[in-house]
Amino acid sequence: MMTAMFRSPVVVYGLDASRKTGEYSVNFGKKALIVTDNNLDKIGLLDGIKRSLTDARVDFVIFDKVTTEPLMEYAEEGLKVFKKNNCDLLISVGGGSCMDTAKGISILASNPGRLPDFEGMNRVKNPGIPHVAIPTTAGTGSEVTPSAVIADSERNVKMLIMSPHLGTKIALVDPFLTVPMPQSITASTGMDALTHAIEGYISVKAHTITDTLNLHAIQLISENLPQAWADGTNIQARTNMMIGALETGMGFCNSSVALVHGMARPLGAYFHIPHGIANAALLPTVMEFTIWGNPRKYAKIAEAMGENTEGLSVMDSAYLAVEAVKRLADGLKIPPLRGLGISQDKFDKVVEQMSNDALVGGSAGFNPRKATPGEILELYRKAY
Ligand SMILES: [Fe+2]
């Protein structure tokens, strides 16, 4: 076996983990900027977190301007609030947008330049601000990944920034925080997590530890996503979804995602559809294309998703994984791209550019079957 690397921040998980925010944050700073979206505080989701900070004598200021997409402007505005209030710690509470915005603030607070200067791998020179991440969705895995996706609306690009300096100090993973998620967000973030697990598992950079995490995550997510979607108050399903998203967060960030994520980023940038929906709409088509790159692993995915593969050939088993993913996406009422308000006209206009953009960022290169821009264009058309 060749050498492999595994990196992970400290993780505290379980019901009420977020009520330990003060206890853990006090080790990293005296005044926190809480980066969150404009709704979570209103519905009371931050109450326990704020109380625990007050109890631990950690002062805080709230920056709640983040919406569904992590725009570069939010990080720039958040940086001003961070500096104006002399903060020395970041606490993100929310989905991937909030956590990635906090990572953007962290970069800008410790490095001269604008965020596009740091796009790509290892371009952040200085360590960032200590960051405590508290996810409120079971999807992105950003609480444990040393990367951020931030939208540059001037260039219509979703920038992927990867650096060890983006790693969080601690992730507080509390399934109670995911209970208020509406069905649509449960579906999109859950399908994002499933895509991480499948892509992290079949990636050419995968190794024994990441395989263990990603394969178990595939099982947990496919078993529990339907139940968490059907009844958001099902705390067992919410807990298992949170653990599944966390496991694959630790798994895929050490093995990489692959072609689906490469193709989903341009879709999100041009059409502003939620990241998990873009993944879900592309996943079956790209799986079908990729199967010959590693049929044995796809057969294992089918088994993990509960398909009966007894007596079937490896190849027949592998194709069951595609069927299982299609069925799950259908059940969650995720439409194909055509049903997402993307007009044929606009799609035709940008599909060639998207096919080139899909190769930027590098994740497509970790697919076990390599795709040319022409093949990617065909895949977009097929998914449409
Ligand atoms: Fe993702």
Distance, CA 58 to ligand 1 centroid (Å)? 32
Distance, CA 264 to ligand 1 centroid (Å)? 8
* 218/72 same-domain check: no
* 116/227 same-domain check: no
Distance, CA 286 to ligand 1 centroid (Å)? 15
Distance, CA 262 to ligand 1 centroid (Å)? 10
Residue ending a domain, among 120, 145, 178, is 178
Distance, CA 314 to ligand 1 centroid (Å)? 28
Write b or e for each residue in 338-348: b if 16 or more Cβ atoms lie within 10 A of its Cβ, otherwise e: eebebeeeebe
Burial of 3 (0-12, 13-18, 19+ CB in 10 A): exposed
Per-residue pLDDT band at 240 (split at 50, 70, 90): very high
Alpha helices in 291-370 (DSSP H): 295-304, 314-331, 344-357
Per-residue pLDDT band at 156 (split at 50, 70, 90): confident
Which CATH number fits the domain that encloses residue 233? 1.20.1090.10
Neighbours of 41 (CB within 10 A): 17
**DSSP for 35-71, written as a single string:** EEETTTTTTTTTHHHHHHHHHTT-EEEEEEEE-SS-B
* 232/367 same-domain check: yes
Distance, CA 139 to ligand 1 centroid (Å)? 8
Distance, CA 382 to ligand 1 centroid (Å)? 21
* 14/85 same-domain check: yes
pLDDT tens, position by position, 248-283 = 999 999 999 999 999 999 998 899 888 999 999 999
The sign of the dihedral angle between the CA atoms of 110, 113, 115, 117 is negative
Q: Which two tokens stand for residue 135?
A: 């996810």
φ, ψ of residue 379 in degrees (nearest 5): -65, -40
Residue ending a domain, among 144, 178, 212, is 178
Q: What letter would DSSP give residue 126?
A: S
Segments forming the whole domain that contains residue 315: 183-383
- Cα separation of 303 and 91, whole Å? 39
* 371/320 same-domain check: yes
Distance, CA 85 to ligand 1 centroid (Å)? 32
Distance, CA 195 to ligand 1 centroid (Å)? 7
Distance, CA 197 to ligand 1 centroid (Å)? 10
pLDDT at 340 over 70: yes
Q: Is residue 373 domain-resident?
A: yes
- Cα separation of 261 and 267, whole Å? 10
Q: How many domains does the chain have?
A: 2
Q: Which residues lie near ion ligand 1 (Cβ < 5 Å)?
A: 192
Distance, CA 55 to ligand 1 centroid (Å)? 35
* 35/80 same-domain check: yes
Q: Structure pTM?
A: 0.95
* 39/59 same-domain check: yes
pLDDT tens, position by position, 75-125 = 999 999 999 999 999 999 999 999 999 999 999 999 999 999 999 999 999
* 187/162 same-domain check: no
* 366/237 same-domain check: yes
Q: Are 364 and 264 in contact (CB under 8 A)?
A: no
Distance, CA 223 to ligand 1 centroid (Å)? 19
Per-residue pLDDT band at 1 (split at 50, 70, 90): low
Distance, CA 83 to ligand 1 centroid (Å)? 30
| Residue 244, CB-side half-sphere exposure with 13 Å CA sphere | 33
Looking at the DSSP bridge assignments, the partners of residue 60 are 32
What percentage of residues in the chain have a pLDDT greater than 90? Answer: 91
Which CATH number fits the domain that encloses residue 28? 3.40.50.1970
The owner of tokens 């190849």 is 315
